[in-house]
Chains A and B, each alone.
Chain A
Amino acid sequence: MNLTEKMRQEAAQILESKEADLVIGWGGGEYYWQSPPLFLEDAAGAAELAFSPFIVNNLAKYLLEELESHEKAALFVKGCDTRGINRLLQDHRIQREAVLLIGVPCAGLADREKLKAAGYDAGLLQVERQGDSFILTLEGEEGAREVPAGEFLLDKCLECRYPNPLVYDRLLGEEVQKPRERDPMARVREVQKKPVDEKYAYWQEKLSRCIRCYACRNVCPACNCRECIFDQNAPRWVGKANQLSEKQNYNIIRSFHIAGRCIDCGECQRACPMDIPLMEINRKIIQDLTELYGEYEAGIDPTDVPPLGTYRAEDPAGFSER
C-alpha cells in the first residue's frame, strides 16, 4: 500500500469509528504541485486525500479554529509539523487529548521553483518520490524521467533535522534516515558579515517589498495569539501608513515575538508573497540565543521553558555591561 492509500484508509477508519470528528489532511489538485488542506467530517471524503512531495502545508494551525467546533481532530503531521504541534501545546493553545496525530515520516519535499528552473514545470503531470530520486511524469512522448531528489528538494528540507514526527499517536510508514545536508545558518553569517550600512540597505530593499499582508504571521505556529498586537487599535502598535518604517517595525517586532519560540519551519518565508527572506531574521535570533544562552530548539519538548522565559544569574549580555 502506498502512502496515499494508507492515509485514506486511516482517515476513513478514524471517522467511521468516531475516534475523531474531524480529519485534517492534504488533498490533490489540478496541477502536480497543489496540495491544499482538506477538512473531512465524513469517511466518504477520505478518497480525496493525497500524498505527494508537495505536502508542505503545516496543518497544525488550523487546529486553533477547528477545535472550537470539533471535539477531537485527527491531523496528518510531518516531522517539522510536529514541532508546530509542540509549540501550540506549550503555549496551551491546544490540548493533547483533543488531537489525534498521524505521523508521516518525510524524506524531503520537492521545490517547484527548482523544477521550474530546470525546465520541468511545463507539461509536468506528477512527481513521485522513489528512493533517492524523484520520478517526473511528463506529458507527451517522454513519459517519465528520473532525477536525483537532492537537487530538487526544498531548501528547508535540505536543512531539516527532524524528518520523523516527534510526537504522534500513529505512524504511517517507516521512519526515515536523513542527514542535514545544508547549514541553515550559512545565510545568516553572510548577511551578518556585511558592514552596517550595507546590512541596512540589504534589509531596506527586502522589507520595503512587504505589503503587510500578515501571511507570515497567519501561517506561523508561534504566532498563535488570540488578538495580535498588529490588529489592535488601542494602543496602535503599528501605524497604518504605507511606509518603510512601519514595515520594519512589523518585521522586527514579529521576529522578536517569536524569539526562542520559532520552530524553524520556514512556513512564514514560504507564505510571503513578496519573497522576503524571513528565515534570515528568525535564524539570526535562534543563532544569538544559542550563542548567548545555550543550545535551544523550540518545539521539541513542550514542557521546557523557552530562553526568554528564564535566566541564569551569570548570563552573558549582548551589550557592554560596564
Chain B
Amino acid sequence: MKRVGVFVCWCGSNIAATVDIERVIAAARKMPNVVYASDNKYMCSELGQASIRESIEKENITRVVIASCSPRMHENTFRKTVAAAGLNPFYLEIANIREHCSWVHKEGEVGTVKAISLVRTAVAKAARNEPLTPSSLQITKRALVIGAGIAGIQAALDIADSGYQVDLVEKEPSIGGRMAQLDKTFPTLDCSACILTPKMVDVAQHDNITLHTYSVVEKVDGYVGNFTATIRKKSRGIDMEKCTGCGICYEKCPVKVDSEFEAGMAKRRAIYVPFPQAVPNKPVIDRENCRYFTQGKCKVCQKLCPAGAVDYELEDEVLTVEYGAIVVATGFDILDLQAYGEYGYGKHPDVLTSLEFERLVNASGPTGGKILRPSDGKPPRTVAFIQCVGSRDQAKGKAYCSKVCCMYTAKHAILLREKVPGAKPIVFYIDVRTPGKDYEEFYNRATDEYGATYIRGQVGKVYPEGDRLIIRGVDSLSARPVELEVDMVVLAVAVTARADAAGVGRMLGITTNAHQFFNEAHPKLRPVETHSAGIYLAGMCQGPKDIPEAVAQASAAAVKVVGLLNKDSLVGNPTVANVDESMCSGCLECTQVCPYDAIKEKSITERRGRETLTRTVAEVNEGLCQGCGACSVACRPGANNLKGFTNEQILAEVDAVCL
C-alpha cells in the first residue's frame, strides 16, 4: 500500500480566500491511499517545507501530493523538499489549485469542488509514481566544428581559447570559406583578407585546434556529451609532413581548369593551392582532373617536388573521434541562375554574379584588382547592379531576403568608383534594406559621395548591342520604362543553403526549414541551439547573415559549447520513454515518430521452450530522449511507456478526474 500525504497550501489568501481549505483536507483524508492531510499558510516557505519533511518522517508517508501553485512554479522546490525527507524526488505530485483554480474560479464554492477534484487526481497519479533516477552522463571534453568559414573559425578559436580541444573539419583544401573570396567588407571597407588571414593563421597555430581540411564528416552517432564522429580525410596526394609548401609542383602541371576560388574567372592547375593565403598552404591533387589519375601518365609534379612529397598512392584516412559538442558552420552557396535567362548570365561575358565581381575587384584576383570587362579587358564606364536576383521571388527563386545584397551592392558601387574614376554605378532595387550599425550611413555614402544612381524597379531583360549591354526595365516610382546602355551588369544573386545541407542535417539529426537552412531551437530565445542537445549553429548555414552576425553567432555557439564542456557530468531527464522488451513486437513504429531519433532497433535472443529465438525490439537512448511521449502513443501494445507519465498514471488520473 502506498501511503500518500496531502499538503494543502493557502498561499496566503491567494488560495484560501476562494478555496475552503478545511473541506479540501477533509475530502483528501477520505481518498484512497491517503494517510495524512494538512495545510500551511505558505508551503514553499522554509517553515512550510520543514512541516512537509517532518510529516513525511513522522507519518511514514511514501508519496506526496502538494496542492498549491503551478508545478511550473515550484515543482523543483518541492522535489528537493521530498528528497530531503529521504524520498525519491519523483514521488511528488502537485495539484495546481492556484493558477488553475482559486485565481479563476472565484464565485461560490465551485473553486472548492474543483480543488478537491484536482487533489484527487494528483493522489491517483502519485499512488502510481515510481522512483526515477536521472542518469548521469559523462562528457567528452572535445568539440567538433564542421565548416571553416569565418563562423567556424571564430567558434573554433573561442572554444580553443577557453582551454578545450577542437577539431575543425573543412571540406575544401583550405579554410576561410566565402569571406576569403571577398575583397573589401562593408560597412568599414577593410580588406577581407587582412582581417581574415590572421585568424586563419591563429587556427593553424593554436595548440588546442586540430585542423582537418579536405575532409568530411561521414557519420555522427550518440548524443549530447557523447558524440562519435567518423571523419574522412580525403587523400591530397601530398605527404603533408614532407611538403614545405614551396609551390614548385604546380608551376609545370599541364592541366588547367576553372578555379573554384576565383569563381571561374581564372584557371588553376590539377595540383594546386586554392589561393595564396590558404591554410594549410600546401597543395592538393584534384584527382578528377589530374592527368596521372585520368590517363595514367604524367607525374610531372612528383618529378619536380624537391621534398619528395607527392605521393599518388596515398589513401584516404578515416578517423573515429569522440566529442562532447558539435558546432555546425557549413555556410552558404549562391543561387543557380538557370531560371533567370532574362539577365543573360552565362551568355554574355560581361554579365557577372556579385561573387565574380568580388574576385574582379580583389587585388589578388584574376585581374590583379583592376575592374576590366571579361569580354575585351577594358574598364567599364557604366555598370548596372541588379539587386534581389532570386531573392524575395516566390515564383522562381527564394521567398526570403538574402540580407547581405543591399549592403554589398552599395559596397560594389563604391569600389567601382574608387577603382575606375568617373565610372557610373546604377543600381536597380526593390527596396534598400540597411538595418545595422553604420549601414544606412554606408548606403548614403554610396549615393551622396560616390554618386551611385538608384533606380527603383525591376529589370526585364539584358541583351547585347554592339559591345555594350542594353538593360530594359521599369522605374516603378515613375511607372515609366527604362532603357539603359551599360558596359557591365552585376547580379546580386540570392544566397542559398548548401546543396548538401539536408543530408548533413539528417546525419546530425537536426532539421532544416523549407529552404534547407538549419533550424534553431527557438527563433528568438535559443538562436544558436538546435533541437538536438549538444549541437549548435553558427553562420549562414542557419540563415542569411553578414560577417558581424556570423561571428557573433559563432561566439555565442562557442559559449554554449564551453558551458557544456565545463560541466563534470550531465544530469539526464529521468522522464524518458522505456520499452518493455517482453511486450515489444519490434514493429519499430515508435522509432518513426521520435523527434530526436532516440529509438533504435536492437536484436535480442531469448529462449522459448527448447528453441533460441532472435527477435527485434526497440531501445530508447536515454541520453537523447527528451520525454515527449509521442512514441508511447505510437506503440499500440503499450510496450513503450513514458516514465513519469505512464499509461497507468494517466488512465488513473482520468478515472479520478471524472469521479
Contact between chain A and chain B defined by CB under 8 Å = yes
Q: Which residues of A contact B (CB under 8 A)?
A: 68-69, 91-93, 224-229, 232, 234-235, 237, 257, 305-306, 308-310
Please give, as numbers and ranges, the residues of chain A lying within 8 Å of B611 by CB-CB distance.
68-69
- Show 24 A/B contacts (Cβ-Cβ < 8 Å), sorted by A: A68-B611, A68-B613, A69-B611, A91-B588, A92-B586, A92-B588, A92-B601, A92-B616, A225-B637, A226-B582, A226-B584, A226-B585, A226-B637, A227-B582, A227-B583, A227-B639, A232-B638, A234-B648, A235-B638, A235-B651, A237-B638, A257-B636, A309-B593, A310-B592
The 0/1 profile, CB within 8 Å of A marked 1, for residues 599-616 of chain B is 001000000100101001
Please give, as numbers and ranges, the residues of chain B lying within 8 Å of A257 by CB-CB distance.
636
Determine whether the beta carbon of A225 is less than 8 Å from that of B592: no
Residue of chain A at shortest CB distance from B584: A226
Residue of chain B at shortest CB distance from A311: B593
Residue of chain B at shortest CB distance from A231: B637
B589 is an interface residue with CB less than 8 A from chain A = yes
Determine whether the beta carbon of A309 is less than 8 Å from that of B616: no
Please give, as numbers and ranges, the residues of chain A lying within 8 Å of B652 by CB-CB distance.
235
Determine whether the beta carbon of A225 is less than 8 Å from that of B648: no
Residue of chain B at shortest CB distance from A253: B636
Please give, as numbers and ranges, the residues of chain B lying within 8 Å of A309 by CB-CB distance.
589, 592-593, 634
Determine whether the beta carbon of A91 is less than 8 Å from that of B638: no
CA distance A229 to B587 in the complex (A): 15
- Among B585, B601, B634, B651, the residue within 8 A (CB) of A225 is B585
Determine whether the beta carbon of B636 is less than 8 Å from that of A229: yes
B647 is an interface residue with CB less than 8 A from chain A = yes
Determine whether the beta carbon of B648 is less than 8 Å from that of A235: yes
Would you list the 7 A-B pairs with minimal beta carbon distance, nearest first? A309-B592, A225-B637, A91-B587, A235-B648, A257-B636, A226-B585, A227-B583
Known contacts A91-B587, A92-B587, A309-B593: A227-B637 contact under CB 8 Å:
yes
B261 CB to closest chain A CB (Å) equals 38
Residue of chain A at shortest CB distance from B128: A235
Please give, as numbers and ranges, the residues of chain A lying within 8 Å of B648 by CB-CB distance.
234-235
A214 CB to closest chain B CB (Å) equals 14
Please give, as numbers and ranges, the residues of chain A lying within 8 Å of B585 by CB-CB distance.
91-93, 224-226
Residue of chain A at shortest CB distance from B646: A235
Extra A-B contacts (14), CB below 8 Å, given A227-B582, A309-B589:
A68-B608, A91-B585, A93-B585, A224-B587, A225-B636, A226-B585, A226-B639, A227-B637, A237-B638, A237-B651, A257-B636, A306-B589, A308-B634, A309-B593
Task: Categorize the interface residue count of chain B.
Answer: 20 to 34
Residue of chain B at shortest CB distance from A225: B637
CA distance A228 to B636 in the complex (A): 8
CA distance A235 to B608 in the complex (A): 26
Q: Which residues of B contact A (CB under 8 A)?
A: 582-589, 592-593, 601, 608, 611, 613, 616, 634, 636-639, 647-648, 651-652
Please give, as numbers and ranges, the residues of chain B lying within 8 Å of A237 by CB-CB distance.
638, 647, 651
CA distance A237 to B613 in the complex (A): 29
Main DSSP-derived SS at the B contact region: mixed
Please give, as numbers and ranges, the residues of chain B lying within 8 Å of A68 by CB-CB distance.
608, 611, 613
CA distance A228 to B613 in the complex (A): 20
A27 CB to closest chain B CB (Å) equals 27
Residue of chain A at shortest CB distance from B586: A92
Q: Which of A224, A235, A237 has the most CB of B within 10 A?
A: A235
Residue of chain B at shortest CB distance from A90: B587
Residue of chain B at shortest CB distance from A313: B514
Residue of chain B at shortest CB distance from A227: B583
A275 CB to closest chain B CB (Å) equals 26
CA distance A224 to B583 in the complex (A): 12
CA distance A227 to B651 in the complex (A): 19
Please give, as numbers and ranges, the residues of chain B lying within 8 Å of A306 by CB-CB distance.
589
Determine whether the beta carbon of B588 is less than 8 Å from that of A228: no
Determine whether the beta carbon of A229 is less than 8 Å from that of B637: yes
Known contacts A68-B608, A68-B613, A234-B648: A226-B593 contact under CB 8 Å:
no
B420 CB to closest chain A CB (Å) equals 49
A5 CB to closest chain B CB (Å) equals 35
Please give, as numbers and ranges, the residues of chain B lying within 8 Å of A91 by CB-CB distance.
585-589
CA distance A91 to B589 in the complex (A): 8
CA distance A227 to B586 in the complex (A): 12
Residue of chain A at shortest CB distance from B647: A235
Q: Which of A227, A234, A310 has the most CB of B within 10 A?
A: A227
CA distance A30 to B638 in the complex (A): 43
CA distance A91 to B585 in the complex (A): 8
B250 CB to closest chain A CB (Å) equals 48
Determine whether the beta carbon of A229 is less than 8 Å from that of B638: yes
Q: Which of B585, B588, B593, B611 has the most CB of A within 10 A?
A: B585
CA distance A62 to B636 in the complex (A): 21
Please give, as numbers and ranges, the residues of chain A lying within 8 Å of B589 by CB-CB distance.
91, 306, 309
Please give, as numbers and ranges, the residues of chain B lying within 8 Å of A310 by CB-CB distance.
592
CA distance A310 to B634 in the complex (A): 11
Residue of chain B at shortest CB distance from A257: B636
Residue of chain A at shortest CB distance from B613: A68
Please give, as numbers and ranges, the residues of chain A lying within 8 Å of B616 by CB-CB distance.
92
Please give, as numbers and ranges, the residues of chain A lying within 8 Å of B592 by CB-CB distance.
305, 309-310
CA distance A91 to B634 in the complex (A): 13
Known contacts A68-B608, A69-B611: A228-B637 contact under CB 8 Å:
yes
CA distance A232 to B616 in the complex (A): 21
Q: Which of B582, B636, B651 has the most CB of A within 10 A?
A: B636
